[in-house]
Structure 1
Amino acid sequence: MHVPTDVHKVRTVCTSTGPRPESTVFSAGPNRTRPPRPARAGAPHDALPALALFAAVRLAGILAVILTNQLEGHGLVRNLAHSWDSRWYLHIATHGYGDLIWVTPHGAVQTDWAFFPLYPALIRALTTVLPLTPGKAALLIAWAAAGVAAYGIYLIGHRLYGRGVATALVALWAALPQAVELTIAYTESLFAALAAWSLYCVLRGRWLWAGILAALAGLSRPSGFAVAVAVVVAAGYEGLRQPGLPPARLWTGALLAPLGWLGYVLWVGSRTGDVLGGYFTVQSAWDSRFDFGAGSVRFLKALLVHGGGVVYPVALMIVAAGVLLFALLCLDRAPLPLVVFAGVLILLVVGGSGSFSSKPRFLLPAFPLLVPMARALARTWWLRRARAVVVYGVLTLVSLLYGAYVAVVARSPL
């Protein structure tokens, strides 16, 4: 992985309300073909075309799931809010922790402590103030968070590479094969929103906000500590390269970043009687552990010998594409926080055990992986507009069909 060789200080344009605070951009060195540039403050209308495209694609995804439910004779919308992990989150939101235990056919005791608390807490809060069922509240939070995430991703792309790349980045993220998880009651939308805005704050040098958002991301998913790692590494690098920055702001953000994830892990440990190891014991019952890729190797062998229908080969291709895109991201000399965030998620997916059909979902928040593709698409858009439209149309169609299939037809864990 390329380590940035310099850090540029960028002062934004003064507005009528006075000068804006100085911000930080993590540059990838003097050999970049296009150096980062700050996004224009106060111009959210620039993002409207990208956000409209994102909303259109994901709305089409919802309609595709509903239509497939109709064809399969299922309830039209029930599985949007009541699929797999969604049921656990809804139960936690309604009854709290420690009320639901499941014993697998192999004798493993699975408990609801494996699920992080932020999403069910938001569901419970929303049902308290609005006349909504937990399922409707869960969908409302997931859909709103997806939009917030898309806007944060746009701002990051705009700040680093300009409007064209930012629009392409959001468009590609909307059309990922596993993007159906953005339109069901899962935590990927919430995690992606917190991650994107935390990383955006890092790029702008807003360390306190970066740390707070990273802490919240750590309360949303087991992989939420990837944001904390990115914030801490970026803060450490910035502190070494720019000792003149106010240390209190910088290091306070870095110290806050891991507190959400660490706090929940220790709380689960205290409930189980093993403060340091209890959470990992709970996760092991779900066959979720870091085994340095042993589980991935076993899966690959089984897939080659026995086959795996549609879902598992596609999951393997998505993970392999993620590894390739990470290599391209490093070669592209992307900013350090984006590389670290995406790298930790790749490491968890490749090196972790568990159902391989769920691994594409774990990569969904890793939007920096799409930066090389977005830059290539933006470069060719004006020269080959018709071809770019055809390519994106095909990607979107594949995303809608595959998303409807895994959400409705396939019986593999999402």
Structure 2
Amino acid sequence: MTHASTIPAPATVAPGAGGHGRPAPAARRLPTTAATALGLFAAARLTGVLALAVTAWAQGKHPLALLGRSWDSMWYLGIAAHGYGRTLHFRPTVVHSDLAFFPLYPALIRVVTTLTPLSGGAAGLLVSWTAAAIAAYGIYLIGARLHGRAVATALVLLWGLLPHSVVLSMAYTEPVLTALAAWSLYAVLTGRWIWAGALAALAGLARPNGFAVAAAVMAAAAYEVGKARGRGVSHRLWTGAALAPLGWGGYVLWVGHREGDPLGGYFTVQRLWGSRFDFGHGSLRFIQHVIMHGSRFVFPMTMVLVAAGILLFALLVADRAPLPLVVYSGVLLLIALGGSGFFECKPRFLLPAFPMLLPLAGALVRTARARPWHATLVVGALAGLSFAYGAYLVVIAHTPL
């Protein structure tokens, strides 16, 4: 795989950020190749939705209802329709408040339902599907800039064939976060700092782990400042770095103010949901339970997928990927591993970590050039797993996604 340090001069990407020169030749020929990548992504996701629909009909369920109104989707639809204020009390230590859910996605749903005759669930799906397409294009641009068009196409296809990629077709926030993250990271790699910071701020309003985008932008900015030793640093860089954490920090402080504890209120809300950062202690206890006592299929599968994520991140680091991609993926992985509660959701939390697929995409391209049938079998196996497991998660498994 081509390393960032060996990219030809017009497309050179510094370890901490991107070059400021002209786009690489591959980037100037994007329309046709990007259309191919997006077409493959759309085909993968439409096939996955078809597999889910067939499974749902066989179970006497409605596929669009499952896609648009499952688990967290209902919380987001409630916020979009009525604003914040819903709280469910189960026990003194278990209280589910809608303040745990960040505001950007329900705000987008509200805009769509206001401007169109669509219902909340249909509007949520429209937002998610549009965001997934925008994310796929941003992912393609990053892959093409770093490693060429073939790897970029493989990267987009692999992202669409992840075992949890069914979430990209649901009324969930991961497509929105990934779209904002991909374009923010691409802006960093191309030296567009204000865009990078603004998109990172929006990503921070999309999900709790959206802070990973701000961390990547600030780390890249710090690298550039250090490299320049503080001299001749553009005001755009400083502005972008200052903008990046505003979305996440602003919402956390707003919830804290509303709860009467500006700095700790949001984290109290999350703790009452059973979600807190405990450096992985809760996850290790749950893994021990699964190993010692057995459990449903979803939980061992989650362990395998999280382990695969750790391996892919190690490969990304070994491949000397640009710093913002490493920081972004690393923070997402740290949050997923270090957070307690809802263990089965961890693969979904890693779904936006598309840079970790870069080493796998490079290996797939090399395999395709040397042994096309081998690559075809690998893609076919991944597709089968993705479609079957996605249908199982949404239709059959009674487990939060």
Displacement of 1:247 in angstroms is: 2.5
Structure 2 residue 342 is the aligned partner of structure 1 residue 351: no
The one of 193, 196, 206 aligned to 1:207: 193
* 1:362–1:42 Cα change, 3 Å: same
Equivalent runs, 1:15-414 vs 2, <5 Å: 25-27=13-15, 39-41=26-28, 43-98=30-85, 100-104=86-90, 107-242=93-228, 246-414=233-401
CA deviation vs aligned residue, 1:230-254 (integer Å, no higher than 9, x gap): 0000011012213565431001000
CA distance in 1, matches of 2:381, 2:368: 16
Residue pair 1:37, 1:160 contacting (<8 A) in 2 also: no
TM-superposed deviation, 1:66: 1.1
2:19 alignment partner in structure 1: none
**Alpha-carbon shift at residue 285 of structure 1 (Å):** 0.8
Q: CA offset at residue 38 of structure 1?
A: 6.4
Q: Distance in 2 between matches of 1:72 and 1:245?
A: 64
Conserved? CA contact 2:94–2:274, under 8 Å = no
Identity percentage of aligned residues: 58
Cα distance in 2 for partners of 1:76, 1:374 equals 31
Specify the alignment match of 1:19 in structure 2: none
- In the aligned structure 2, how far is the partner of 1:59 from the partner of 1:329? 29
Task: Give the TM-score taking structure 2 as reference length.
Answer: 0.94
Amino acid at match of 2:94: A
Alpha-carbon displacement from aligned partner over 1:96-151 (angstroms, at most 9, x marks no partner): 011x1112257512110000000000000111111111110000000010010000
Local SS of the residue matching 1:391 = helix
- For residues 10 and 148 of structure 2, the distance between their equivalents in structure 1, rounded to whole angstroms, comes to 17
Structure 2 gap ranges (5+): 17-22
Label 1:96 to 1:228 Cα distance change in 2 as closer, same or farther (>3 A): same
Report Cα offsets for 1:212-231 as digits up to 9, x if no partner: 00000000000000000000
Q: TM-score, normalised by structure 1?
A: 0.91
For 1:104 and 1:384, how far apart are their aligned partners in 2?
56
State the alpha-carbon separation in 2 of the partners of residues 291 and 39 from structure 1: 44
SS in 2 for 1:104: strand
Contact 2:4–2:321 (CA under 8 A) maintained in structure 1: no
Q: Give, in angstroms, the shift of residue 180 of structure 1.
A: 0.6
TM superposition shift of 1:76: 3.1
